Amino acid sequence: MTQNCCKKTAIFPGTFDPFTRGHYSVVERALNLFDEVVIAIGVNALKKPLFTADERVEMLRRLYADEPRVRVVVYSGLTVDLARECNARYILRGVRSIIDFEYEKSIADVNREISGLETILLFTEPQYAHISSSVVRELMSYGRNVEAFLPAQMVLPEK
């Protein structure tokens, strides 16, 4: 393993409410590029999540229990500040569409200007491009089975 000062760490920020197969795919592929991926669960007082931050942390820690290169944290505030705290030099983002790309490019430009951090975009694999956390939450609100949209090993808390 590389020394800590030289370790390539990426922050993967999001609400992850819930964490989907698309998110899982991005992390799995990122582990081929980085020594560590920090899944950063953002808390936004304006959003009303289905799962609490603690529930999301627990789901992700269970999912990655056997992968020491994945760390799960909760944060509020700017992602660039968290990246500095975690000694991360990269922000990792998944992109499903051209709309996502335009949004992520704007944020990446600002983040680079204010912090010098680079944003790495991984395009979602085609079979997951239609999956979003908001669609999964909506299906769940109607009592639909969402297993096909979540990582196979994901255990959801009872709601």
Q: Which of 23, 25, 56, 93 is catalytic?
A: 23
Q: Are residues 5 and 135 in contact, defined by beta-carbon separation less than 8 angstroms? A: no
Q: Which of 96, 105, 112, 137 is catalytic?
A: 96
133 annotated active-site = yes
132 annotated active-site = no
Report which DSSP code applies to 12.
Answer: E
- Proportion of the chain in helix, strand, coil states, percent, rounded to 5: 40, 20, 40
Helix (H) or strand (E) holding 138: helix 133-141
105 annotated active-site = no
Nearest to 44 by CA among 73, 14, 19, 76: 76
96 annotated active-site = yes
Q: Are residues 47 and 22 in contact, defined by beta-carbon separation less than 8 angstroms? A: no
Q: Are residues 29 and 4 in contact, defined by beta-carbon separation less than 8 angstroms? A: no
Please identify every residue annotated as catalytic. 23, 47, 96, 133
